[in-house]
Amino acid sequence: MAGRRDKPHSSRGSRIALAIVIRVLLGCVIAFFFPHGLINPTASLQNRRFGNSNLQIGSVSCESSERSKMLKSEIVSLSEKKSKLKKQVRDLTEKLQLAEQGKDNAQKQVLVLGEQHKAGPFGTVKALRTNPTVVPDDSVNPRLAKILEKVVVQKEIIVALANSNVKEMLEVQFSSIKRVGIPNYLVVALDDHIEDLCKSNDVPVYKRDPDVGIDAVGRT
Residue 25 lies inside a defined structural domain of this protein: yes
Residue 150 lies inside a defined structural domain of this protein: yes
Residue 111 lies inside a defined structural domain of this protein: no
Task: Among 45, 63, 86, give the residue marking a domain's end.
Answer: 86
Reduced to 3 states (helix: H, G, I; strand: E, B; else coil), residue 187 is strand
Task: Among 42, 68, 86, give the residue marking a domain's end.
Answer: 86
User: What residues make up the domain containing 191?
Assistant: 138-219
Residue 94 lies inside a defined structural domain of this protein: no
pLDDT tens digits, 22-58: 777 777 767 666 665 555 555 555 556 655 655 566 6
- Which pLDDT does position 40 carry in this prediction? 55
Number of structural domains in the chain: 2
pLDDT tens digits, 131-183: 556 666 777 788 888 888 888 888 888 999 998 899 999 999 999 998 999 98
Task: Among 66, 86, 106, give the residue marking a domain's end.
Answer: 86
Same domain, 82 and 145: no
Residue 24 lies inside a defined structural domain of this protein: yes
- Which pLDDT does position 4 carry in this prediction? 47
Closest CA relative to residue 142, chosen from 72, 206, 187, 62: 206
Q: Which amino acid is at 159?
A: V
Sequence-distant (6+) residues with CB within 8 A of 117 are 125, 128, 132, 133, 134, 135
Distances (CA, A) of 219 to 30, 165, 192, 207: 153, 11, 13, 15
pLDDT tens digits, 88-124: 898 888 888 888 877 776 666 655 555 555 666 655 6
